[in-house]
Amino acid sequence: MSYWVYILYSRSENVFYKGQTADLEARCIRHNAGREKATAHAIPWVCLWATQKHSRSESLKLEKKLKNLSRNRTIQFMLKYRQDVAGPDELRILQQLSGC
């Protein structure tokens, strides 16, 4: 089984949320339905970046590293690993956030 590590962005609150899951699509739906306490205040969320890992331990390790990054470093990280940016619209959002 593979696991996803992801970074969501809320335009309404201008914040990121970082997490990991086995089912990325279902998890994003839960975040946007307000069914997750940590993210309910900032709906809607856009998945800017996501990558697959082979094990839960790998995904938890990366999630922990991401959660310790500042906002600027989070943006730099996503730009560095832009091959995992969700799509062209999400890349434009990321470039706007970085000032590019």
CATH number at residue 59: 3.40.1440
- Ramachandran sector of residue 30 (left: φ over 0; alpha: ψ -120 to 50; beta: rest): alpha
Instruction: Judge whether residue 95 has pLDDT over 90.
Output: yes
Tokens for 34, please give them.
């307000």
Please compute the mean of the pLDDT values over residues 6-19 and round it to a whole number: 98
Per-residue confidence band for 1, with pLDDT thresholds at 50, 70 and 90? confident
Q: Please tell me what DSSP assigns to residue 63.
A: H
Domain count, the chain: 1
pLDDT digits (tens, 9 = 90+) for 42-71: 999 999 999 999 999 999 999 999 999 999
pLDDT digits (tens, 9 = 90+) for 74-83: 999 999 999 9
Q: Which domain holds residue 47?
A: 3-98
